[in-house]
Amino acid sequence: MKTDKIRELAQWIADSAYTVVLTGAGCSVDAGIPDFRSPEGWWRKIDPMKVATVDALENNYPLSWEFYHDRIKHLDTVKPHPGHYVLARLEERGKLQLVATQNVDGLHQMAGNRHVAELHGSIRSFRCHSCLRAATREQFMAKEPCPACGGKLRPNVVLFGELLPEDAWSRAMDAVRQAELVIVIGTSLQVYPVNQLPSMTRGKTALLNKEETGEEHRFDLFIPGRAAPLLTEIGEALENLRP
C-alpha cells in the first residue's frame, strides 16, 4: 500500500511542470535536529513564550540568548540527510521549482537547493534588534552588544509576535498558486499563516508526515513516515520511471 503511494507520488512529480515543496521541523529531525511539539521536541523542554518572543528578547535577554546560543551550537553537529539531497537533485533536474520552509537551519541550501523561501527566517544570520544592522555569528555567540548602537543582537528568525518575511511569504504564495503539485513534508500544519499555503493551490497535494495530524483530508495523498527514508524511496521510484 505504502509502496503504491510512493510510486503514485513519483509519477505525479514526473508529470508535473511546476512543483513546490513545503517543509517543517519533521524534515530536519532525521538530520539530528529536535522538532518542537513532539515529546522530545524543544517546546517540551522550555516554554516558547519564555524564550522565542519579542518580549523575551527585550526583557529577558540572557535566557533568550542562551536558548538560541545552544541551538546554534547544536547545528555544528548536523548535516543534511539523504532526503535533503533528493530535493536538491529534483531542483537540479528542473522538477522542483521552490522549497518553502518553516525551518531556520539552512539544511536545504547546504544540500544544494538554490530556490528556497525561508518563511521563518534563518538562525545562521544575525542582526541588531534595535537598529537592524547586520552582525556576525561570532558577535552574537560572544554575547556582544551591537557595535553601532549598543542594542541586543539576535538571529534572523521570526519570533512569536513578528510578521513573516514579506519576500519569502510572497514567493511561497506565488509559487503555490502556480503549482501543479504541492508536497508538504514534516509539519503538523498548526502554525498560521503557513498552514494556509496548501489550500492556495489548484494542483495536486501530498502530505508526508511521521504521524497523522488531522489534516489528511485536505490532501489528495497522505504517506506516513519519516522524511529521510520516504524521500529516498521517492527518489528511487523516480529513477525507475526514467527510460
Angle at 175 between CA 174 and CA 176, to 5 degrees: 95
Would you say 185 and 209 are in contact if contact means Cβ atoms under 8 Å apart? yes
Q: Distance between CA 199 and CA 25 in Å, rounded?
A: 20
Q: Answer yes or no: 69 catalytic.
A: no
Distances (CA, A) of 228 to 27, 103, 208, 215, 231: 7, 15, 11, 21, 5
Catalytic site residue from 115, 120, 129, 217: 120
**Cell 513519483, residue?**
10
Among residues 51, 54, 55, 53, the alpha carbon closest in space to that of 43 is found at 51
**What does the angle CA 120 – CA 106 – CA 104 come to, to the nearest 5 degrees?**
25
Q: Kindly provide the b/e burial profile for residues 31-47, where b requires at least 16 CB atoms within 10 angstroms of the residue's own CB.
A: bebbbbebeeebeeeee
Looking at the annotation, which residues are catalytic?
120
